[in-house]
């Protein structure tokens, strides 16, 4: 799994670094012919919220999220009536490789969640899922919370601390990668694997039992779920959101 997934992510980083079939051009929110042939699909078209809805209302929020210049952003300044909130994909995913470019502002907190079941427990778990943490580790207090760094950037929030982290810093684009193959999962940041784990094992359940997710029955063990972008009240931007299933 490690060697195969590592190759897949390295390959996708190389391919995604030149988002055009023409040398010298760098276009966001488009797929090259090679990416299309390899099964990649865009989850954000760069100009509309198509494919994304609020995790609870199942319609795209009227405020709190902006789409400008090929970027979809959490923007508290436009959330005048509390319309924002977490957004999820309309589709559900089982085995996949996800690639997302993100930019966080100073002191920001956000995340990319997966295995989100918006229908579970009558919708009460609509924003619950395994979380690829997005955090300004230098300026947000959560970086020192939790256990041994398990709430920091590119980690599995409140469960596993990241390693091999290469953070470009605030107001700079970073690339997140999440690979799910059955119960085996990896997190990547800027071409380096930061987290690797296996769900459903005794070790996994023991880990969950020591976390804030202990009350959630079967946490992280659903076979498929939605992808979620978190609104945690800070300005965070996303682009080049793409996925391929296998």
| CATH at 52 | 2.60.120.560
Question: Which of 3-7, 145-149, 218-222 has the weakest average pLDDT?
Answer: 3-7
- Residue 15 clears pLDDT 50, i.e. is over it: no
Q: Is residue 235 part of a domain?
A: yes
Per-residue pLDDT band at 6 (split at 50, 70, 90): low
Q: Is the pLDDT of residue 16 over 60?
A: no
**Residue 219: which domain range?**
41-245
What pLDDT is stored for residue 11 in this prediction? Answer: 46
pLDDT at 3 over 60: no
Can you tell me whether residue 13 is helix, strand or coil? helix
pLDDT at 22: 46
pLDDT value of position 123: 83
- Structure confidence at residue 12 (pLDDT): 53
DSSP per-residue string spanning 129-189: SEEEEEE-TTT-GGGGSSSTTTTSTTSBTTTB---S-----TTS-EEEEEEEETTEEEEEE
Q: Is residue 7 scored above 70 in pLDDT?
A: no
Of 243, 13, 16, 232, residue with least CA distance to 104: 232
Specify if 127 maps to a domain.
Answer: yes
- List, for residues 215-239, the tens digit of each pLDDT value: 999 999 999 999 999 999 999 999 9
For residue 14, being part of any structural domain is answered with no
Percent of the chain predicted with pLDDT > 90: 83
Task: Look at residue 131 and tell me if it is in a domain.
Answer: yes
Predicted local confidence at residue 26, as pLDDT: 62
DSSP 58-114: SS--SSSEEEETTEEEE-GGG-TTS----EEESS-BSSEEEEEEEEE-TT-EEEEEE
In a domain, 29, yes or no: no
C-alpha span between 102 and 171 (Å, rounded): 9
pTM of the model: 0.90
Contacts of 34 (CB under 8 A, 6+ apart): 15
Average pLDDT, the chain: 91
3-state secondary structure of 44: coil
Q: Is residue 88 part of a domain?
A: yes
Looking at the structure of the chain, the number of domains it has is 1
If you average pLDDT over residues 97-122, what whole number do you get? Answer: 96
Q: How many helices (H) and strands (E) does the chain have?
A: 3, 13
User: Quick check: is 23 in a domain?
Assistant: no
Q: With a cut of 50, say whether residue 164 has pLDDT above it.
A: yes
151 occurs within a structural domain:
yes
């Amino acid at each position: 799994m490690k060697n195969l997934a590592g190759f897949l992510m390295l390959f996708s980083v190389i391919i995604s670094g030149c988002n055009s079939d023409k040398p010298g051009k760098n276009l966001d929110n488009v797929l090259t012919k090679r990416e299309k042939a390899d099964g990649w699909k865009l989850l954000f078209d760069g100009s509309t919220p198509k494919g994304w809805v609020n995790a609870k209302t199942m319609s795209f929020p009227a405020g709190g999220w902006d789409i400008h210049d090929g970027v979809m952003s959490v923007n508290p300044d436009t959330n005048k009536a509390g319309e924002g909130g977490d957004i999820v994909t309309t589709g559900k995913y089982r085995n996949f490789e996800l690639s997302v470019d993100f930019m966080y502002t100073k002191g920001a907190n956000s995340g990319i969640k997966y295995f989100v079941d918006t229908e579970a427990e009558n919708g009460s778990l609509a924003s619950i899922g395994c979380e690829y943490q997005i955090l300004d580790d230098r300026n947000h207090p959560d970086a020192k919370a939790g256990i041994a760094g398990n709430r920091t950037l590119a980690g599995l929030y409140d469960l596993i601390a990241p390693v091999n982290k290469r953070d470009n810093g605030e107001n700079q684009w970073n690339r997140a990668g999440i690979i799910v193959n059955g119960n085996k999962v990896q997190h990547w940041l800027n071409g380096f694997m930061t987290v690797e784990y296996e769900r459903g094992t005794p070790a996994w359940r023991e880990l969950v039992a020591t976390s804030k997710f202990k009350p959630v029955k079967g946490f992280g063990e659903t076979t498929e779920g939605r992808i979620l972008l978190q609104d945690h009240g800070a300005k965070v931007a996303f682009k080049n959101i793409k996925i391929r299933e296998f």
